[in-house]
């Protein structure tokens, strides 16, 4: 694509069109630009990242900690990989310049603009007609996938690299113009850098397509430049991925693996897999009432409900998919006579299906212990991109000799139908006013807290919740404790450090104390206030507040809708830190087949010899104790070894559960605890899964 002033004008027209459509659909104007389009659930964690980036606490390549969360310590974010750091960094710059909520709208709109520009540029690089590149770019920008993701999944709403990934894979597989040192080579390598730093989901499929392209070259063409560029693309993208996540990897190596921070299980690969019918079923927010009823019926009847409606392709893309299938069948039917080459569109679509569907390749990979890409329905955006590129290609050829009026009529009809079909029902003024009211209430409450407390004061938050991806507590959703963080500048809050390590266990212990004793303990730790979200309690926290008042803590700040309360404390002048390590985090590594909750604790079932590991962060050996129960349905001998040395054994009778408790010395670094048996696993009449024995609620604690 040669860049001229006309190219610039077309891109400006494209950006203006995207901006107008986005603002109209989201009810945004200069008057309400500082109102976020969403203020719920995952949107709150995105805002937290933006605010943290604005305060300098999220910097690409560096360790991720937040001194205003996780009090009295710093919130540790290194166990949970934060990707697309370049997007978060830009959003943080917007936040510093325009304020947090205006920045959320800036960042969302920027994603749609980049999606349109990226798609248009790729179409022009492939020499598709300008008018069809323009139309398909608009439809790609507003495909339902991006609107479904919204602010809560903003990092998935940035899909501008999807068409880039496809084009690079085609160049590697088929291009005769690709030369080492040429412009196309630099484009491919630059794209690989961007993809390596970007969303791992995009990188995953990009790597697969590059591998396929290299395979085709090695089998049929063996064009040296293509093979060299393809190998370089893989190496560069892998290097960039490792570089941007190095802080997470090194933190895990230094402090031990934290399996609880990013909990992923096989069932999620099925739950969030691609269901082909969801490419067709319209969402409940569809503008056509009859279509919305179809979506509502599906929502009521579907058994597996993951990210429902996210993959919806829409009418235009479904027609394009039909055209693609017809062309493919025609080529296959006349293959002997015409020897026409099958375009890459269809094989890539078929591979996405094979990889992403329920029971597909991704599920198979997850079954063998790598359920990392659980949301394979998200690869539907690649299908949208492939179909729209196919349409731009074929319409460029079919309409080449059409008069301009006929082209404009068809293009206009595609846009009207496509946008009306893909855009959800517009945001209403009432919805905008609701979010404006909520943010005003939170701002008034949070600033009243900050004015009543000293700079740097610590606030303990109730109910105690894990971070991230916590299950709701009463009416409190996963990230609602983050709301005061947005409006304060110096206050420190107890919520917000990665779950899975034992450092934050003290919070649960304090929460269980009687209110008066809880307040005394928190004052000893240096806390200046207790923040309570009333919706986390059946009695709206009335009993806790009464007990605190009876203990003399009567200074209270409350928001105007009586959801959030702040009770002031008298922090100690010489505070002490809570116990930083009460239980050791361990990882189940080998031989474990199922974990289930029970009244006595979590039951970890094995199919034979099994191993768990934990990490001693000290520079020298240290004494630890292990307490658990070991049970068996059949007679067998079970022993426990620590780093190869047997420290406990017992001969179990059938249906017997025995305690196991001992002290041992753990070396510095990684330690292995191995449970061994002399009996093979067996199924039972009630459970077809073969099991050997069970380990109940194991707890490893340092000996003081």
pLDDT digits (tens, 9 = 90+) for 157-178: 999 999 999 999 999 999 999 9
- What total number of domains does the chain contain? 5
Whether residue 358 is predicted with pLDDT greater than 70 in this model: the reply is yes
Task: Let me know: does 510 contact 594? Beta carbons within 8 Å.
Answer: no
Distance CA 587, CA 197 (A): 28
**Distance linking the first and last C-alpha atoms of the chain:** 69
Which range has the top average pLDDT, 462-476, 513-527, 581-595, 642-656? 513-527
Domain range for 174: 160-246
Mark whether 523 and 591 lie in a shared domain. Answer: no
178-203: average pLDDT: 94
Nearest to 309 by CA among 387, 391, 378: 378
Query: For residue 336, is pLDDT > 70?
Result: no
Same domain, yes or no: 20 and 152: yes
Q: What is the rounded distance in angstroms from the CA atom of residue 482 to the CA atom of residue 442?
A: 11
Asked whether residue 138 is assigned to any structural domain, the reply reads no
Between 144-158, 429-443, 570-584, the lowest mean confidence (pLDDT) is in 570-584
For residues 430 and 421, what is the distance between their CA atoms, to the nearest angstrom? 23
Cα distance between residue 614 and residue 252, in whole Å: 11
Return d(Cα 665, Cα 667) in angstroms, integer.
7
Rounded to whole angstroms, how far apart are CA atoms 320 and 323?
5
Q: Distance (Å, rounded) from C-alpha 491 to C-alpha 122?
A: 47
Cis ω for the linkage preceding 292 (within 30 of 0) = no
Look at residue 577 and tell me if it is in a domain: no
Statement to judge: residues 474 and 600 lie in one domain: no
Q: Note whether 404 and 367 are same-domain residues.
A: yes
Residue 137 domain flag: no
Asked whether residue 254 is assigned to any structural domain, the reply reads no
- The answer on 611 and 510 residing in a single domain is no
| Together in a domain, 40 and 153 | yes
Per-residue pLDDT, 491: 97
**What pairing do the DSSP bridges indicate for beta strands 694-702 and 622-632?**
antiparallel
Q: Among residues 534, 568, 602, which one ends one of the domains? A: 568
Question: Do 613 and 544 lie in a common domain?
Answer: no
Whether residue 648 is found in the same domain as residue 665: yes
Higher pLDDT, 595 or 321: 321
Q: Which two tokens stand for residue 339?
A: 């020897």
- The H or E element spanning position 632 is strand 622-632
Instruction: Tell me which of 568, 594, 620 is where a domain ends.
Output: 568
d(CA 394, CA 337) in angstroms, rounded, equals 22
374 and 316, same structural domain? Answer: yes
- Give the residue from 656, 642, 665, 643 showing the smallest Cα distance to 696: 656
Q: Confirm whether 551 is domain-assigned.
A: yes
Residue 341 lies in a domain: yes
Report d(CA 583, CA 580) in Å as an integer. Answer: 9
pLDDT of 338 over the 70 cut:
no
Q: What is the rounded average pLDDT for all residues in the chain?
A: 92
pTM recorded for the entire structure: 0.89
Q: Does some domain include residue 486?
A: yes
Among 124-133, 470-479, 592-601, the least confident range: 592-601
65 and 165 housed in the same domain: no
In a domain, 17, yes or no: yes
Identify whether residues 152 and 177 lie together within a single domain: no
pLDDT digits (tens, 9 = 90+) for 673-685: 999 999 899 887 7
CA-nearest of 164, 141, 166, 146 to 156 is 146
Pairing of strands 645-652, 603-616: unpaired
Instruction: Please tell me whether residue 40 adopts helix, strand or coil conformation.
Output: coil
Query: Which of residues 246, 273, 307 is at a domain's end?
Result: 246
Higher pLDDT, 514 or 370: 514
Q: Measuring CA to CA, how many Å separate 327 from each of 5, 205, 331, 332, 648?
A: 37, 25, 6, 9, 68
State the pLDDT at residue 339: 66
Whether 269 and 414 share a structural domain? yes
């Amino acid at each position: 694509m040669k860049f001229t002033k006309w190219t610039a004008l077309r891109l400006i027209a494209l950006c203006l069109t995207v901006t107008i459509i986005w603002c109209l659909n989201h009810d945004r104007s200069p008057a309400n630009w500082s109102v976020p389009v969403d203020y719920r659930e995952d949107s709150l964690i995105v805002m937290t990242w933006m605010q943290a980036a604005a305060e300098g606490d999220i910097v690409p390549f560096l360790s991720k900690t937040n001194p205003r969360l996780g009090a009295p310590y710093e919130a540790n974010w290194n166990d949970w990989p934060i990707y697309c750091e370049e997007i978060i960094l830009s959003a943080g710059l917007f936040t510093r310049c325009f304020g947090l909520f205006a920045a959320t709208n800036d960042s969302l709109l920027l994603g749609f603009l980049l999606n349109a520009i990226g798609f248009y540029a790729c179409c022009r690089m492939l020499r598709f007609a300008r008018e069809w590149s323009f139309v398909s770019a608009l439809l790609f920008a507003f495909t339902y996938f991006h609107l479904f993701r919204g602010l809560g999944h903003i990092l998935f709403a940035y899909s501008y690299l999807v068409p880039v990934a496809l084009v690079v894979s085609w160049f590697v597989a088929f291009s005769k113009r690709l030369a080492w040192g040429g412009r196309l080579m630099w484009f491919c390598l630059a794209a690989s850098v961007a993809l390596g730093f970007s969303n791992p989901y995009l990188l995953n499929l990009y790597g697969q397509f590059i591998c396929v392209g290299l395979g085709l070259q090695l089998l049929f063409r063996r064009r040296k430049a293509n093979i060299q560029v393809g190998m370089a693309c893989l190496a560069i993208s892998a290097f960039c991925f490792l570089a941007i996540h190095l802080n997470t990897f090194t933190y895990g190596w230094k402090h031990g693996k934290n399996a609880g921070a990013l909990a992923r299980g096989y069932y999620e690969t099925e739950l969030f897999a691609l269901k082909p019918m969801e490419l067709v079923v319209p969402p409940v927010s569809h503008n056509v009432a009859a279509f919305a009823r179809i979506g509502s019926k599906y929502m009521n009847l579907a058994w597996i409900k993951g990210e429902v409606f996210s993959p919806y392709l829409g009418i235009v893309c479904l027609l394009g998919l039909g055209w693609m299938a017809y062309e493919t069948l025609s080529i296959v039917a006349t293959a002997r006579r015409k020897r026409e080459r099958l375009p890459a569109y269809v094989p890539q679509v078929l591979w996405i299906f094979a990889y992403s569907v329920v029971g597909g390749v991704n599920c198979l990979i997850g079954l063998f212990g790598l359920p990392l890409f659980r949301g394979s329905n998200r690869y539907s955006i690649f299908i949208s991109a492939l179909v729209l590129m196919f349409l731009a290609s074929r319409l460029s050829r079919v309409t080449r000799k059409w008069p301009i009026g006929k082209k404009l009529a068809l293009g206009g009809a595609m846009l009207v139908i496509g946008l009306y079909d893909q855009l959800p029902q517009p945001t209403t003024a009432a919805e905008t006013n609701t979010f404006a009211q909520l943010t005003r209430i939170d701002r008034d409450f949070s600033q009243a807290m900050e004015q009543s407390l000293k700079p740097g004061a610590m606030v303990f938050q109730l109910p105690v919740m894990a971070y991230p991806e916590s299950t709701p507590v009463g009416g409190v959703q996963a990230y609602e404790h983050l709301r005061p963080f947005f409006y304060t500048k110096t206050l420190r809050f107890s919520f917000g450090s990665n779950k899975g390590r034992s450092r934050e266990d003290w919070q649960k212990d304090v929460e269980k104390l009687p209110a008066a004793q809880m307040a005394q303990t928190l004052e000893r730790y240096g806390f200046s206030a207790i923040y309570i979200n009333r919706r986390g309690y059946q009695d709206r926290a009335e009993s806790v507040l009464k007990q605190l008042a009876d203990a003399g803590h009567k200074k209270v700040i409350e928001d105007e809708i009586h959801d959030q309360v702040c009770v002031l404390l008298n922090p100690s002048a010489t505070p002490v830190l809570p116990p930083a390590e009460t239980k050791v985090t361990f990882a189940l590594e080998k031989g474990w087949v199922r974990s289930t909750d029970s009244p006595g604790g979590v039951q970890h079932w094995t199919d034979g010899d099994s191993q768990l590991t934990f990490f001693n962060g000290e520079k020298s050996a240290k004494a630890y104790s292990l307490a658990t129960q070991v049970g068996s349905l059949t007679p067998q001998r079970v022993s426990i070894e620590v780093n190869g040395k047997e420290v406990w054994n017992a001969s179990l009778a059938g249906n017997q559960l025995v305690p196991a408790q001992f002290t041992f010395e753990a070396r510095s670094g990684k330690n292995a605890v191995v449970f061994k048996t002399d009996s093979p696993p067996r199924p039972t009449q009630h459970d077809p899964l073969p099991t050997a024995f069970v380990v109940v609620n194991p707890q490893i604690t340092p000996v003081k």
